[in-house]
Structure 1
Amino acid sequence: MSFQAYLDKIEDKTGKTPRALVDEAKSRGYDAQDVKAGVICDWLKADYDLGRGHAMALVHVIKNGPRISDKHVGTKGTHADPTNMLWLDGKATNPLTA
């Protein structure tokens, strides 16, 4: 599954855009570099019933922003993403898929 697909599934499951969840995480102080991924995963599990894989995708965005590695950009595998910038404002408004 591509990184963007993980974020789209998170939106389906929670009803919130990835940006809304990142903003919520920031309001809780979870964007601080010393906050462990497990703390964020526990919150996402408790409040949104997200599994570890989906939670870790969101952890990356919370901690590092929407830029991902170029490693999978332009590849044809399961994990291929069309760009190294993730869309956080809801899948319905993503210009790459709309």
Structure 2
Amino acid sequence: MSFQAYLDTVEKKTGQTPRELVAQAAERGFGPGTKAGPIIEWLAAEHGLGRGHAMALVHVITKGDRIASTHVGSTGTHRDASDRLWLDGVATRPADWPTG
């Protein structure tokens, strides 16, 4: 599953865009430098997310919407078409935005 697909599934499961969840995390004091554990616990308790989906959000909360180019354009399971992630929701994603 691509990184973007994880975020799209998080939106489907929670009814909130990744950007909305990042804003909630910031309200709780989570951001760059925050360890994964507290964020994962919060996402599980309040949003019912499992570790994999929570870890996708941990990355966005702590590092922003850019991912390493390691999987961009690769043929592996976790490939993405871009090093940038769309955080504003599936419904608003431009048709030409590259997805995994």
- TM-score bin (small chain): over 0.9
How many angstroms does 1:46 deviate by? 0.3
Report the TM-score when normalising by structure 1: 0.93
* CA-based RMSD: 1.1
- Partner residue of 2:59? 60
Moved more, 43-52 or 77-86: 77-86
Within 5 Å, give how 1:67-86 maps onto structure 2: 67-86=66-85
Could you tell me how far apart the structure 1 residues matched to 2:20 and 2:30 are?
A: 14
Answer yes or no: is the 8 Å Cα contact 2:32–2:61 preserved in 1.
no
Could you tell me how far apart the structure 2 residues matched to 1:47 and 1:8 are?
A: 18
Stretches of structure 1 that go unaligned for 5 or more consecutive residues are: none
Which segments of structure 1 move beyond 2 Å, counting only runs of 4 or more? Answer: none
- Partner residue of 1:21? 21
Fraction of identical pairs, as percent: 60
What do residues 31-83 of structure 1 show as CA deviations (whole Å, max 9, x unaligned)?
141x3211000000000000001101100000000000001111122211110
Could you tell me how far apart the structure 2 residues matched to 1:59 and 1:85 are?
A: 15
- Partner residue of 1:37? 36
